[in-house]
A = this chain, B = another copy of it.
Amino acid sequence: MITIALPKGALLSDSIQLFQKIGLDFSAFLDPKNRQLQISDPTQTATALLVRATDVPVYVEYGQAQLGIVGYDLLLEKKPVVANLVDLKFGSCRMSVAVPKTSPYQRPVDLPPHGKVASKFVNCAKEYFRSLDLPVEIIPLYGSVELGPITGMSEAIVDLVSTGKTLRENGLIEIDTLFESTSRLIAHPLSYRLNLDNLNNWVEKVRTSVINQP
């Protein structure tokens, strides 16, 4: 029996739809009364774990789940040792640099050397500014990154943007995009290579389902 790690939050309902299309029903997780974090599909073919999005690659890396769904942004940030197999197309967003509308810095390279940039995605931000040869300091924040520029703690932020509503509400504008992100099907590398529990068959089903979707 294979185990699949599903992410709580924004990607959950699309993830469950995807597996429904290939015959695995984990919709019990969408019941607001559900408190279980581990369920089997009704045909007893697979088990699903409901975990925080950040934890999905951990469960897959340690082989506790053979498959998982995770945003490409997390793969770039955490660099887990997992196989990135299928672009699932949903959960589109982008990693952007944003500054206050009134900022004198309207291009990333305008930012002052040793300026400060607040981000949850410390590694992505560091890599980006290193590639620009700009020695800024990255301040790790875990909630409300927008508060960085509002309080004056940082000149800019690097954050995930989907609709752009949060940025607009906080008077921030995007001045560059680091990369675009979508959800990915990931697998435990060894299980995939050895085709344990006929894993490749499930991966192919997901791949075909994504290609054939309208």
Measured between C-beta atoms, what is the minimum distance from A150 to chain B in Å? 7
Copies of this chain, count: 2
Q: Which residues of A contact B (CB under 8 A)?
A: 3, 8, 37-38, 49, 51-52, 54-55, 58-59, 62, 64, 116, 139-144, 147, 150-153
Instruction: Name the B residues within 8 Å of A116 (CB-CB).
Output: 62
Complexed CA–CA distance, A144 and B37 (Å): 9
Instruction: Name the B residues within 8 Å of A8 (CB-CB).
Output: 143
A38 touches B151 (CB 8 A): yes
Instruction: Name the B residues within 8 Å of A141 (CB-CB).
Output: 52, 55, 58
Complexed CA–CA distance, A95 and B202 (Å): 41
A52 touches B144 (CB 8 A): yes
B152 touches A64 (CB 8 A): yes
- Which residue of the partner chain B has the closest CB to A153? B64
Instruction: Name the B residues within 8 Å of A38 (CB-CB).
Output: 147, 150-151
